[in-house]
Every structure is written in C-alpha cells, then in structure tokens.
Structure 1
Amino acid sequence: MTYQILVVDDEFYAVQGVTQGIEWAFLGIEQVYEALDAEEAKMRLIQSHIDVMICDIEMPNMNGLELIKWVKEHSPWTETIFLTGHADFSYTRTALQSGSFDYMLKPFDYEELKDVVRRALEKIQETREAQGFHEIQQRYYALFQTHKPLLEEKFWQDLLARRIPPSRSSLESLIALYELSFAPESRVLPVLISVELWKKELSARDEDIMEYALRNAAGELILGSDAGAVLQDRSGNNLVLFYLPPEQSFDRGDLAERCEHYIRSCNEYFFCDLSCYVGEATEFSSLLEMYVQLLEAERSNVTESNSVIPFDEQRESSRQALMIPWISGISVLFDLGSREDVLRKLDEIFSMLEAEPSLTIETLESSYHALLHMIFQVFHKRGLTLQDVFAPRDLSDSASVTRSLLQFKVWCYRVILNGMDFVINNEKGEASVIQKISSYIDDHMREDITREQIAEYVHFNPAYLSRLFKKETGSSLTDYILVKRMEKSKELLISSQLKIGDIADIVGYENIPYFTKMFKKSTGRTPREYRKERSTST
C-alpha cells in the first residue's frame, strides 16, 4: 500500500528540508507534495488524496491551527503532524485538541520525524483495514438480509423434515443465528394448501411456476400483514405459517374468510381447484404432530373440494374413521417417512400412554383394532395380504396383546415395523405405486386418462398422489402420460403399417392434427416424417 504526504510551511527552505531530508519511499510514500501557505495547501488537498500533512503552525493569513479545522471538514482521512519553533505548552494542547496526530518542535531530528510519520501511517493502515472489514461486513449483511426469507424457509423445511430437533436450545441458537422473525416461545398456526386439480395441462416446470404463484397469492390473501411465512416443504407441501405470541388469540372466522377468498381467486386466476386445511396454534414441540395430522386429513379427504377444512372437523373425521386420532400419524409415515420416523413416532406415542394415569384396557383394545385396520389399508392399496407377513396370533389374539401396556407396546413395535419392512422390500421387488401407475396408463391409453382415475386406482388422494409422483419421478403426471403416449406412438410407427389416424386413436387422440402437433413438439418431426426417416435408416 502506498501513501501521499503534503509538507506545508511559509519558508521555502524549511519545506525543502523536510521533503529532501528523508527517503520517504522507504515508508511506502509514493508522492511528496509541497505548499508555501494554507491556500496552496487547500488546493492540493482538494486535488489529491493526502494521507499525512506535515504543517507549520505559524503562517501568515491562515495559520496551521485554522488550516486543520478546514482539513477535518474537507479531508477527514488526513492525519496532521504540526511543527513549530515555540515550546509553549498551550500550543501543544491546542494542536492536540484540534485533532492533530502529533506535535514536534523545530529544529527536529529527521529520524524522530520519520518515526512519527511511520506511526501515523500505521494508524491510517489500521483505519483502512477496519473500514474495509466494515464495508465487507455491511455488504454481506445486506446480502444476508436479502436472503433471509430463503434462510427462514430452509429452517422450516429442516424442522418439518426432522433434520433439527424442536428443543428450545436448538431453536434459540438457530433463531439468533439466522435473525428469524419469531421467538422460541412463539406459537405457530399452520395452513396446508392442497392443489386438487389443475384445469389445464401443465408440465412439471409449469406446475412449479404455478405453485410459486399460488404461494405468492397466499402471502397476500391469507397471511396478509400478519407475521409469518409462506413456503414449500421438502415433500412439496405448500404451507402458510402464522407466528403468534404465546398469549395472543387468533380470529379463526377471519382466517376462514381469507382462505375462502383465496380459494375463489385461485379458481379464477390460476385455473385450479384447491382446499385449505387449517390447523391450530401450537408450540414448536407440537408442530410436527399438527403437521402430520394436516397431511393425514388431506390424504383421507376424497369428497370435499375447494373447501376450508378446520382442524376440529379434521379431528372429528379422524375419530370416525379410526377412533384413535394418533393412529393417523403412523399411517402417513408409511408413505412420507422412513423406518426411523415410524420408530420416533412410536416412541412418542408410548411415552404419552405411559404417562396417562387413566389408561384403560378398553383404550388398548380400541388402539389394537385401529392399528390393524390401518395396516390392512396400507397392505390393501398395495395389493398385499396380512397373512403374507403376520402370524395368526398377531391378527387375532387381542386379549393377550392388550393384557398390559408393555405387552401392547411389544406387539405394536413388532407388527408395525415388520409390516413396514415387508412393504418396503416388496415394493423393491414387485410393482410399486409408480409401476402401478405406469401399467394403468398402458392399459387405458385409448381413454381420456385423468389424475382422479389414477388416484382412485392406487387408493390415494389426487393432490397427495400428484405430489408423491412428482417427488419420486421429477415429472408431473401430465408429462408422464404424454411421454408414455409418444413412446407408444413411435413404437407403432416403426413396427407396424397402421395409419397415422389409427395410431392416434390407439394412444388416446381423437383429433389427428392435435396428435401430429403433440408428436412434433415431442420429437421435432411429424409422425409421417418420423416413420419415413426410421424406415430409411433400417
């Protein structure tokens, strides 16, 4: 780093003595300027970046003390070293009070002056480094502020994916680290947005764009000016999260109206049907449970569309279906989670049951039948039977299983984990849900295949199926059906002499021009060009 200095004195030889008497280059000084009065000095300070000014105090018209006041206003980075022939302490005090770096008496020793300049340059260097660090810090802090919404979304994605524990200590550290807009003691009210039907054919990319638009609209129409976030979790679920102080109540009627307005707007502007599943305000420690219950409510809903479904209605529906509300969480985790998630859920359930003083045999028997019913549903929709994996006593000996909480616990862990292992291993070796969908498309290619038909075939909620399919394949169902139809078309064009119209009919297109358009969009050639090119190459 190089520097520039200015020597100011009304005596020419005094200036020459300073500028010529020291090898300034050894201090990293690139340029040494001279001035014979204050006006000339001010001109130089305006024209050049002067790091150090060595200045005589006693000068006509404007003395050094008056000059330094001007310097502090117009060149505040310049350090000043005063020279004077008066050994008067009042001069020293005034000079230092004016903000000069140091004060030296004439005649002075060159080495001493050199040392004072060196110290002044060191101070300048420290100031520059501190300023540089501050500028970098400010720049990256501004960048950090720009990306804070992404950091907040990542926090929620990690929390809902169980990558971070919902303990107070971990929450406090992450909230402080990311400067998040809520506190560990805050409550969170979640709203799950479930897209049930796109009324236009959309590619996977188009679906992503439209869901981004849906989240933006949810931010305006559902969240509004309230504290919270709108995000998509790692499984593709779209969520609105309201941040509430510990004791603050929330007008659920107003929230329902917002959601209804949002649904109507999305029907009109985004060409889709959707529903909002409204949870209850809960602490962080209970949020995952609430999240799973919302997903289970969505998965089990096959009748209501374009609806606002409050949590109390979801809970009542869950009781009617399975009688024991916590069973629904295990059911969802068969599809959403891993074996570790199910184990964690079982641990939570039995910790709760072990702490329940009013636990009865009737409750254990209800849980026993509800769990068997859940496992039966999981197996049935995959075309499996319980007898393939479970011993007869596991399916019929309820009296023995429910004799005590410990026996029931052992049975639950064995049956649920063995059942899940069997399902996972079976799907690796036989037809998975994706393979079933592929087979269904092959068998019904002549028909106008809808997402709802496929969802009914594999026993899934349409919105849930769409998200699961996209997560597993990276493609939308619409794209996948188009690819299957084009693959079949190419196969028939090459291997048969069928007319173009007949091939279009076989793959589900009644309109031949539309079939030709879609085929060319997929391959870059018309069906006739494709057949001719392939027959020529063979």
Structure 2
Amino acid sequence: MKMSTKPYNVLIVDDEQYALDGIRYGIDWPALGVEGVFEALDAAEAKDCLRHQPIDLILCDIEMPKTSGLQLLQWVKTNAPEAETVFLTGHADFSYARTALQLGSFDYLLKPVDFADLTKVVVKVLAKIAERRESARFNQVHGHYYKLFQTHKPLLEERFWHDLLSRRISPSPETIGKLIASYELGFHPTCQVIPVLLSVELWQQDIGAKDEDIMEYALRNVASELILGNRPGTVLQDRDGNNWTLFYGESASLPSQEELLGVCSHFIAMCNQYLRCHVSCYVGLDAEFSDLLKTCVNLLEEERLNVSRTNSVLPYGSLKEFAGQQFAVPWVAEIAVLFDLGSRTGVEQRLDDIFGALDAEPSLSVETLLAFFHALVHTLFQAFHRRGLTLHDAFDKYDFADGGAVTRSLPQFKSWCYRVVRIGMDRLLGHGKEASPVMQAITDYINDRLNEDVTREQIAAHVHFNPAYLSRLFKKEAGVSLTDYILSARIDRSKMLLESTRMKISDIAAAVGYDNIPYFSRKFKRMTGVTPQEYRKLQSAR
C-alpha cells in the first residue's frame, strides 16, 4: 500500500481581526508543515469551516460573543473529534484552564501570545497528530493485509497439508507448531488426524481430462458436505492427484469408525447417482502428525492392492491379510508406492527414516536385517515385474546372492540398500528419457485394440493395477488422462487410414472402435477442426 505524508490544516478562531492576522503572519506555518491556515471570527464561522475542511489544529480564543470557545470545544468533540485545540485567553483564571483541559484541550496560552511559545506548542501538537496519523496508517495497512490473510487462509491451510503429505516439511512438533502459529490454523500440533482416501474408480461416461478435473472438484465438494460436514477438517487433492478428507481435533471430538463408515457409504451412493462415478473410501485410523504420512501411504498401498472390492467403504486394515502376503515388513508397502510414483527423493527420505529407527533400536539383530533384506528384494522384484523387467536387467548377479554378507552390520546394510534403490530407480525411470515398461505395456495394449471398446478396468487388469491407481500413474507419466490418450490414438489411426487408404468412412470408424458414424465425425472434428471427409479432401489436394 502507498504511504504519504499529508500536510496539516490550522483554524484560527478569534473575534478580533488583528488577533487573527497576528497569528497568521507571526508564525512560519510552511516550515511547520502546515499548508492551510483558515480563519473564523466567531463559533458559527468556525463550525462552518470544520464542516467543509479537514482541520487538524484549532487555535481558539475562549471569550467570544454568543458562543464561547469552551462551548465550541464541546461541539468539536462530537463533530470533529480528530481536531486538536489550543486555547488563547486574556484572563489568567485557573478555572478556565481547568475546564479547557477537562474538555480535552491540548494546551492553554495567555494573551498577548508570544509567538516563540506558540510555535513550540504547535510543534508538540503536530507531533502528536503525526504520531496518531502513523498509528492510523499502520492500523489501515494491518487491517488491509489481515483481511487478505483471512481471505487466503484456506489456501494456506491447503498448502500446509500439501507440504506435510509430500514431505516438504518435517512432521516434528516444533516445525508443525511454528507453521500452525504462523498460518493461524484452527488446530494444534498435538491433535489427532483421521485421513480418508477418496479413490475414483470409474466414470460412467466418456469424459476428457479437463472434465475429469472439474468432476473431481465437484466430488471433493460433495465430500466436504457429506463426509466432513460441520466437523473440523479439510478436503483436498495432494500433489500426486490423490483426493483426501482429513479430520483433525482431540480424539474425543473425532468421528467414530462406525460414523465414518456410514457417511462414506452415503457419499458413495450420492456419487453413483449424481456424479455418475464409482468411488471407494479407504478409511484410516486417527494418527498424530508424526504418523500421518505413514497412515496415508498405507491407505494408498491398500488402494493399489485392491483389485476386487470396488465402489466400497474399506476400513483401515481390511485388506491387511492380502497385503501381508505381498510384504512381510510394513514399511516395504510405502517404498513400493513411492517406486510406482517415481519419487526418487521420497524413497530416499523413507530410507532415512527407516535407518534412523534401526540405528536407535537397542535390540537390533541380524535376523531383523535379514528380514528387511528379503523384503526389499521382494519389493524390487515386484516393481520390475510390473514393468516387464527382471532384476538382471539392472543388477549384477552378485547384488542379491548373499544376504548374510550385506547384513553383517547396519552401516554395511544401509550402504547396500541405498545403492540398489538408486540403481533400481535409475533403471525404472530411465532418468525421465524413456517411457517406463509399464507405460509401454499400457500403450501397446491400447494401440492393439483401437477397434474395441477398451475400458480402464480391462487395461488395469492387464497390468495388474487397481483402476484408480492406474489412472493417476498414467496421467502423472504421460501428462494426459487415459481417456484423452485413447481418443487421441483413435483419431491418429483414423487420420492415417484416411491418408493412405480408400476405405469407407464407416469402415474407418469401425476400425477405430466407433459404430456410430456421426459420433465418430463429431469426435474427429473436435480433435482436428474438420470432418473426416474434409480431412481426406485436404490430404488429397496436397
């Protein structure tokens, strides 16, 4: 906001003109920062001036006909309260001074006025006014930015949760406490949080990426109303595209599992009916900030492993038995999810957490390290297998040959873990230069079946992924939604057929999976700007 120093205005009130002239010309007003000097011969003129001019200081005679200076001051207190008053009088009567000061006069000088004394008093008055103005400006600026702060507070809260869930901030009580205080959030660092993962599994109509984003926004609003309700919490989409409902507060104020299952079931029914989508709710248990990320990652892992129960409410641990068959050590589930998300930093940060805990374990044994060794090997095997690779594609045959050798000490095991994880991530991600094998498998599957009505569920089954998890992974790596990719692939194939063959439009439509020719033409024109017939003519003319 722009700050400026506003000049001062002074009103001199006296029933004698020579007195007015003496004060006007006896003081160097511009040197004091005074721009306007106004005069009034009685209280009526003074009131009229105060009604029309912003007066900062009134120099007023007390003894005036009709209305005295003291009576004028009483009027000023109500009608121009920001103006300061200094009284001038020819009577050295203390009762005048006492009444003037009681009414709020700044000072009281005797006539004839010594201009040097009057100048000193004016300087003090103007200093007081300047201080008041500065305070008012500060309050105005503070109020302005506080209003902006309150307006953007929901964004600050969303940023807090984004940073926490993406490991950009430490979940320590000290860090959490500072951010909560800084953002003036409505919870405290020792409260409990219940996460609910909202997994969109199927849109019952053909929608593009933009429409999908809009519908997911609508879904979060429905979740805010039906799941969160009036309880403290938030509904948001994290940086990886996962939709969450987060409850926070004291344990006694949080909803029970039974209540959560009920509201989530109602939410799913409303999404089926009004948003025309299938969605599952993975309901977590209450956790402290330090354990929240672990709980969320476990919910994501349950979603990833779930290929049979759809459009359902899934309490925390309901897929535990199945997950246990895959991973013997709990933290391995988190590593697997971070591998699939391509989060190199996330994997290494999780290893930092794990080895910090192992280092602090007084009863650490070789058997524990061996269990971790085999669990990590299994995780790498599964990650490579899902992408159509084997461990021999990236590792030396000796890397996994002797678990006993790499688990002889914690530092040795730690060095081995970081090395194989980095090699594995480099091979799986290809430094971002090549499509991952799982993406290649997805696109190959789609391109081989462009003449069929390929569904997300069929593709997910082919690569052994949960449909909702597959959609987020595909969009993250390809930059477009699965639906938009299929549409683009079909249009590209039809363009090639229009250019290189004399097939009928109806046959081309059937070859790319469209039985309805007008519908195919509309899709084609939306992507290319022309109809299939117009496109063929344009290509023939070249």
Q: Matched residue of 2:130: which SS? A: helix
Q: Which residue does the alignment assign to 1:534?
A: 539
Q: Matched residue of 2:317: which SS? A: helix
Q: Does 1:260 align with 2:278?
A: no
Q: Does 1:383 align with 2:385?
A: no
1:39 Cα shift? 2.7
Query: Does the 8 Å contact 2:450/2:512 carry over to 1?
Result: yes
Q: Which residue does the alignment assign to 1:49?
A: 54
2:316 counterpart (308, 311, 314): 311
Aligned equivalents of 2:89 and 2:431: distance in 1? 96
Deviates more, 1:146-155 or 1:13-22: 13-22
Q: Which residue does the alignment assign to 2:379?
A: 374
Superposed CA deviations along residues 187-232 of structure 1, whole A, max 9, x for unmatched, are 2111111101111122211111111111111111111111111111
Alignment gaps of 5+ in structure 2: 1-5
Q: Which residue does the alignment assign to 1:349?
A: 354
Q: Which residue does the alignment assign to 1:445?
A: 450
Deviates more, 1:402-411 or 1:520-529: 402-411
Aligned equivalents of 2:340 and 2:435: distance in 1? 17
1:45 Cα shift? 1.4
1:234 counterpart (234, 239, 242): 239
Query: Does the 8 Å contact 2:87/2:100 carry over to 1?
Result: yes
Change in 2 beyond 3 A, CA 1:63/1:316: farther
Superposed CA deviations along residues 41-94 of structure 1, whole A, max 9, x for unmatched, are 222212222221111112233321222122111111111111111223333333
Q: Does 1:103 align with 2:108?
A: yes
Superposed CA deviations along residues 287-343 of structure 1, whole A, max 9, x for unmatched, are 111121111111111111111111131434322332322211111111225333222
Superposed CA deviations along residues 245-286 of structure 1, whole A, max 9, x for unmatched, are 266664110111111111111111111111111111111111
Q: Which residue does the alignment assign to 2:512?
A: 507
Residue 382 of structure 1 aligns with an amino acid whose one-letter code is R
Change in 2 beyond 3 A, CA 1:334/1:56: same
Aligned equivalents of 1:123 and 1:9: distance in 2? 24
Q: Which residue does the alignment assign to 1:522?
A: 527
Q: Does 1:212 align with 2:202?
A: no
Residue 291 of structure 1 aligns with an amino acid whose one-letter code is C
Aligned equivalents of 1:206 and 1:437: distance in 2? 22
Aligned equivalents of 1:473 and 1:89: distance in 2? 89
Change in 2 beyond 3 A, CA 1:499/1:102: same
1:86 counterpart (91, 114, 125): 91
Q: Does 1:484 align with 2:489?
A: yes
Aligned equivalents of 2:7 and 2:362: distance in 1? 79
Aligned equivalents of 2:429 and 2:436: distance in 1? 11
1:142 Cα shift? 0.8
Q: Which residue does the alignment assign to 2:128?
A: 123
Change in 2 beyond 3 A, CA 1:314/1:57: farther
Change in 2 beyond 3 A, CA 1:114/1:473: farther
Residue 501 of structure 1 aligns with an amino acid whose one-letter code is S
2:461 counterpart (440, 456, 461): 456
1:360 Cα shift? 6.0
1:278 counterpart (283, 296, 305): 283
Deviates more, 1:376-385 or 1:110-119: 110-119
1:139 Cα shift? 1.3
Q: Matched residue of 2:222: which SS? A: helix
Query: Does the 8 Å contact 2:201/2:310 carry over to 1?
Result: yes
Aligned equivalents of 1:517 and 1:429: distance in 2? 34
Residue 337 of structure 2 aligns with an amino acid whose one-letter code is V
Aligned equivalents of 1:118 and 1:19: distance in 2? 15
Matched pairs, number: 537
Q: Matched residue of 2:236: which SS? A: strand
Deviates more, 1:191-200 or 1:246-255: 246-255
Query: Does the 8 Å contact 1:204/1:474 carry over to 2?
Result: no
Q: Matched residue of 2:248: which SS? A: strand
Deviates more, 1:478-487 or 1:356-365: 356-365
Residue 481 of structure 2 aligns with an amino acid whose one-letter code is S
Query: Does the 8 Å contact 2:388/2:438 carry over to 1?
Result: no
Aligned equivalents of 1:225 and 1:512: distance in 2? 50
2:327 counterpart (312, 322, 328): 322
With structure 2 as the length reference, what TM-score do the two structures score? 0.92
Q: Matched residue of 1:230: which SS? A: strand
Residue 39 of structure 1 aligns with an amino acid whose one-letter code is A
Aligned equivalents of 1:316 and 1:464: distance in 2? 20
Aligned equivalents of 2:122 and 2:317: distance in 1? 78
Query: Does the 8 Å contact 1:4/1:50 carry over to 2?
Result: yes
Q: Which residue does the alignment assign to 2:3?
A: none
Residue 167 of structure 1 aligns with an amino acid whose one-letter code is S
Aligned equivalents of 1:163 and 1:409: distance in 2? 23
Alignment gaps of 5+ in structure 1: none
Q: Which residue does the alignment assign to 1:140?
A: 145
Q: Matched residue of 2:86: which SS? A: strand
Q: Matched residue of 1:32: which SS? A: strand
Aligned equivalents of 2:517 and 2:254: distance in 1? 60
Change in 2 beyond 3 A, CA 1:479/1:123: same
Q: Does 1:33 align with 2:33?
A: no
Aligned equivalents of 2:253 and 2:221: distance in 1? 26
Aligned equivalents of 1:501 and 1:246: distance in 2? 63
Change in 2 beyond 3 A, CA 1:23/1:409: closer
1:391 Cα shift? 4.0
Query: Does the 8 Å contact 1:4/1:32 carry over to 2?
Result: yes
Q: Which residue does the alignment assign to 1:18?
A: 23
Q: Matched residue of 1:312: which SS? A: coil
Q: Matched residue of 1:31: which SS? A: strand
Residue 381 of structure 1 aligns with an amino acid whose one-letter code is R
Query: Does the 8 Å contact 1:152/1:178 carry over to 2?
Result: yes
Query: Does the 8 Å contact 1:519/1:527 carry over to 2?
Result: yes
Aligned equivalents of 2:28 and 2:391: distance in 1? 95
Residue 473 of structure 2 aligns with an amino acid whose one-letter code is L
Superposed CA deviations along residues 357-401 of structure 1, whole A, max 9, x for unmatched, are 666666555444433332221111111112233344544545555
Residue 464 of structure 1 aligns with an amino acid whose one-letter code is Y
Aligned equivalents of 2:132 and 2:271: distance in 1? 56
Query: Does the 8 Å contact 2:177/2:189 carry over to 1?
Result: yes
Deviates more, 1:242-251 or 1:152-161: 242-251
Q: Which residue does the alignment assign to 2:470?
A: 465
Aligned equivalents of 2:198 and 2:360: distance in 1? 35
Change in 2 beyond 3 A, CA 1:261/1:112: same
Q: Matched residue of 1:197: which SS? A: strand
Aligned equivalents of 1:521 and 1:394: distance in 2? 53
Residue 526 of structure 1 aligns with an amino acid whose one-letter code is T
1:153 counterpart (146, 153, 158): 158
RMSD of aligned C-alpha atoms?
A: 2.5
Aligned equivalents of 1:34 and 1:406: distance in 2? 89
1:493 Cα shift? 1.9
Aligned equivalents of 2:59 and 2:10: distance in 1? 8
1:106 Cα shift? 0.6
Residues 282-297 of structure 1 mapped to structure 2, 5 A cutoff? 282-297=287-302
